[in-house]
Amino acid sequence: MQFRTVIAVRNVLPGVGARAANPGRRSLRIYGAQPLIVRAPMTVPSLLLANAFLIFAMMLVLWVISVPLKDVSFIDAFWAFGFVLIAWFTAFLLDSDGYRSLLVCVLVTLWGLRLGIHLFRRWLSHGADQRYTAMIENAKLPAPLYTLLYIFLLQGVLMWIVSLPVQLGQRGGLLQELGVLALAGATLAVVGILVESIGDWQLARFKANPANRGEVMDRGLWRYTRHPNYFGDCCFWGGIFLIACEAPGGWMSLPGPVLMTLLLVKWSGAGLLEKGLKRSRPGYEEYIRRTSAFIPWPPST
């Protein structure tokens, strides 16, 4: 973390105030050219707290929008957009202009905008997500209160934890040379973006063909893993964590990629999705038998 300084340089003799050099102008009296510290370094707790307030405000606004719509499904798109906001807000808070900070912001922006636009377009064309609809219908609380607590604010907490590498990975001020870990992390993150993008594109093309209605997608990347998009997502966040490890205390952001992996593999991602696919796709059990669940691998015979 660096200190930013402003140095007053005027055509004045040492010991002669700035006001004396320009008597008609109101200015701070600075003798000679003494450095003036204008910003103190932000501590880790302050950074994390500031981003927590940002996420809370964003989720509150989205919840207010969802109430008259009676639909919360668009939250998936803003889950992705939110990380982009966190990345650039963190760079602003840290007043950071180092290579690592720029690398993190660019990668998160590429990932977040691509995924967010994809999910937002899907919401516009398909409407409410039945998973959210079922959750709200089975809730014991009034719908607005339930969605605030268990959808928007809960996702806000998850976003704050997952984004730890984005926040802590930008610390270090101007001393942000990219080492082996950062380069390896950037490579892994780019691979993740490509795998996720190709998987989503292949699935969209498959679904767009009426002849494939009710069929199991087992072509392209989907031949080697049942969830190439989730695998790509996991690679991306693992890569961001590797980049963050070169920042002071960046290793403490490990809960971020661990939580994202659990979300993708066990909880809201693949685990929840496959429960419905087993019921709606007659050949899905056979697809499970021959295809790797997560890590791409040649199908078994």
What's the pTM value of the predicted model, to 2 decimals?
A: 0.83
Q: Give backbone dihedrals phi and psi of 38, rounded to 5 degrees, phi first.
A: -110, -10
280 pLDDT tier (thresholds 50, 70, 90): confident
Q: Give the 3-state secondary structure of residue 36.
A: strand
What's the whole-number average pLDDT of the chain?
Answer: 85
Residue among 114, 118, 266 at smallest CA distance from 192: 114
**139 burial class (0-12, 13-18, 19+ CB within 10 angstroms)?**
middle
Q: What is the pLDDT of residues 99-118, one digit of tens each?
A: 999 999 999 999 999 999 99
pLDDT of 55 > 70? The answer is: yes
Residues in the chain: 301
Query: From CA 23, how far away is CA 142, in angstroms rounded?
Result: 67
Detail the DSSP E strand segments found in the chain: 4-7, 35-39
Give the pLDDT of residue 29.
38
173 pLDDT tier (thresholds 50, 70, 90): low
76 pLDDT tier (thresholds 50, 70, 90): very high
